[in-house]
Structure 1
Amino acid sequence: MNQLTYPLFVSDIDGTLISSDQLIHDANLKVPDANLKSIEEFRRQGGLFTLATGRSYAEAKRLIEFLDIQLPVILCNGGMLYHPKTDQLTPVATLEQTVVTEIISQLTSIVPSMDLLVYTTDRIYSTGLSPIVQAVLQSDFDTEDLMPLENLASFADLPTVPWIKICVVGENRWMKDLHKWADSTPFSLEVVQSSDNFFEILPVGVSKGAAVVALAESLGLPPRSAAVIGDHMNDLSMTKVAGTSAAMANAHPSLLQAADHITLSNDEAGLSYFINNHLLSTPVNIASER
């Protein structure tokens, strides 16, 4: 491991690790073969690999198992950790019940046409999903990978439990209104747009970047010994703490500007290209799929 400049490698999932093409490698997991081979070679040379995603554990579970990840996995954009060795989920921080209730009240008046999903450690609460949101979820996830969804008559019926995050889902044209709300809210929160259709509200101090720092330190490594890769605005915090970073060619413009390197797109096995050209101590010839 000492031979590697960056012995810890943390990857985003959607738009990064997996392909958009349903036919590549596995109709469900969509991991290009070149990515798998490069991750295997990185590990063979002593590297440590894990994931940092906005997904919940249920949505990431099959990938975690498929990739045989043994390190803690960063979930919910830093709000949760999954520990494969003990099969335990750990909230990093939670939102207070009164804060969740007030945020929901404010958001339903600002963007009434968007859907709100409120996450606990093991399920999601909503008051119903619009056809647009159902289409987004069905295009991004297999039904078996979704967390249990509890449909409430009203958010006033929310149980009193630890809350991990609030996710606002809908058309991209409403995102600017959500960013304006976040800039003016009196609550201490972290907010991040994790895709064109997802806007997430998290406890203050929670981010993928903060989780990468904590993970590296728990392994006895300085955070700057980590390499990270992603495609959207929720990956920006990782670029600020890691020793080196890559943005996919298909990444959001803000990440393309912030990252140290720009690799190929997720449909061209850009993760493999980044590993082969920037992380391996002994480069190997692994052809990237296009």
Structure 2
Amino acid sequence: MPHAAPIRLIAIDIDGTLLSHEGRVGAPNQAALALARSLGVEVVIATGRRHCYAMRVLRDIGLPESAVLISSNGTVVRNLSSQLIERTHMSPEATALLCNHLAGFRNALVITFDKVGPDGEDARGALVVEELAEIHASIERWVTANELYIVHVNPIENALKNDAPIQAMLVGTMDRMAQAEALLVSHPGVAAVGETLSGGLISLNRTAYPERDLSILDILPAGCSKGAALLRLAASRGIQPSEIMAIGDNWNDLSMLEVVGHPVLMGNAPEDLKTLARQHGWRIGLPHTESGVAEAIESALTSALTPKSHETTQPTLVG
């Protein structure tokens, strides 16, 4: 009987995954996305970037406006035309915990609000900081790229009086962020990275760049993650987790790699995450500098184009 492609949806991270070292989606990766779509496989982008910042690199790469973008680590889901699908805000209790429990780390704190307009562009005030010097020292390029959206509010609680954020993040050295993470997890309302806490207020995600001595700790509404958002989206399409491929490179991708049938970890992932991948039997692909996304997609989907030796009919494509 005809061979049917086992993958119906592919979820792909952006930074360190889809992008080259030059910060662009290279031609091989664009061709692989086109291949997937030609076989009836839905392509979804799942990123820690907020929607506006993600769209800077997603325009003009061949994806349709109906393609789905899971942004801010799963707290917001829109299509590329900026139509809102779902969004989760932090509760007042969560923001109070955030401000009261991080006294020694407020100079490393960025709070994010969803201020996306119909054109996909953010309004000023989408990013709020109390102080910027420490953040600038850690992620200078990000600050420069987002300076139009950043406002200073001191004390930062004043920014929370009339609007609810979608997430917050702490940035700094590996050691300092490990201290911040330990402090947050010490609170009974905070779920650690990779954990779900019944009745919790906050979930944590981590992105680590050991070679740069940089760690980003994302602070999300309870229960939010790339994986949770991806599963809800797939269920709305009638797609089973076993029919999903997820490709990522860092700890904030863990939630989706854990729940899909075809997890692929990029070759440039941190070594401790690679160790975990090997324990789970996940595929470890090429690094992003070698178009690892293209290699993973083409390897998985090429079989849909080639009938088995005993077949005489054309393959059935997913659609």
Q: Note whether the superposition's TM-score is higher than 0.5.
A: yes
SS of residue matched to 1:168:
strand
TM-score, length of structure 2 as denominator length = 0.78
Tell me how far apart the structure 1 counterparts of residues 286 and 295 of structure 2 sit (CA, whole Å). Answer: 7
- 2:132: which partner in 1? 129
- 2:49: which partner in 1? 55
The answer on whether the counterparts of 2:138 and 2:173 sit within 8 Å (CA) in structure 1 is no
How far the C-alpha of 1:194 sits from its partner, in A, is 2.3
Tell me how far apart the structure 2 counterparts of residues 147 and 108 of structure 1 sit (CA, whole Å). Answer: 27
- 2:156: which partner in 1? 155
Tell me how far apart the structure 1 counterparts of residues 144 and 157 of structure 2 sit (CA, whole Å). Answer: 30
- 1:104: which partner in 2? 99
- 2:311: which partner in 1? none
TM-score, length of structure 1 as denominator length = 0.85
- 2:68: which partner in 1? 72
- 2:203: which partner in 1? 190
- 2:316: which partner in 1? none
How far the C-alpha of 1:208 sits from its partner, in A, is 0.5
How far the C-alpha of 1:116 sits from its partner, in A, is 0.6
In structure 2, relative to structure 1, the CA distance for the partners of 1:248 and 1:147 (3 Å cut) is: farther
Tell me how far apart the structure 1 counterparts of residues 143 and 110 of structure 2 sit (CA, whole Å). Answer: 16
- 1:287: which partner in 2? none
Match for residue 180 of structure 2 among 175, 178, 181: 178
Match for residue 284 of structure 2 among 255, 258, 262: 262
Bigger Cα displacement from structure 2, 167-176 vs 94-103: 94-103
How far the C-alpha of 1:214 sits from its partner, in A, is 0.7
- 1:288: which partner in 2? none
Bigger Cα displacement from structure 2, 145-154 vs 33-42: 145-154
Matched, 1:206 2:224: yes
SS of residue matched to 1:274:
helix
Tell me how far apart the structure 2 counterparts of residues 147 and 254 of structure 1 sit (CA, whole Å). Answer: 36
- 1:282: which partner in 2? 305
- 1:271: which partner in 2? 293
In structure 2, relative to structure 1, the CA distance for the partners of 1:64 and 1:89 (3 Å cut) is: farther
Tell me how far apart the structure 2 counterparts of residues 229 and 36 of structure 1 sit (CA, whole Å). Answer: 15
Tell me how far apart the structure 1 counterparts of residues 249 and 103 of structure 2 sit (CA, whole Å). Answer: 29
- 1:232: which partner in 2? 250
Q: For each residue in 1:35-83, what CA deviation from the matched residue of structure 2 results, as whole angstroms up to 9, or x when unmatched?
A: 1111111111221111000000111113332232423210000011112
Larger Rg: 2
SS of residue matched to 2:132:
coil
Bigger Cα displacement from structure 2, 191-200 vs 132-141: 132-141
- 1:84: which partner in 2? 80
The answer on whether the counterparts of 2:101 and 2:184 sit within 8 Å (CA) in structure 1 is no
Instruction: Count the aligned residue pairs.
Output: 270
- 1:115: which partner in 2? 108
In structure 2, relative to structure 1, the CA distance for the partners of 1:34 and 1:282 (3 Å cut) is: same
How far the C-alpha of 1:140 sits from its partner, in A, is 4.7
In structure 2, relative to structure 1, the CA distance for the partners of 1:104 and 1:141 (3 Å cut) is: closer
Bigger Cα displacement from structure 2, 204-213 vs 160-169: 160-169
Identity %: 25
Unaligned runs of 5+ in 2: 116-125, 190-199, 210-214, 307-319
Tell me how far apart the structure 2 counterparts of residues 150 and 12 of structure 1 sit (CA, whole Å). Answer: 28
- Root mean square deviation of aligned Cα: 2.2
SS of residue matched to 1:217:
helix
Tell me how far apart the structure 2 counterparts of residues 100 and 74 of structure 1 sit (CA, whole Å). Answer: 22
Tell me how far apart the structure 1 counterparts of residues 242 and 156 of structure 2 sit (CA, whole Å). Answer: 42
How far the C-alpha of 1:182 sits from its partner, in A, is 3.1
Alignment of 1:37-56 (within 5 A): 37-56=31-50
Alignment of 1:162-173 (within 5 A): 162-173=164-175
How far the C-alpha of 1:238 sits from its partner, in A, is 0.6
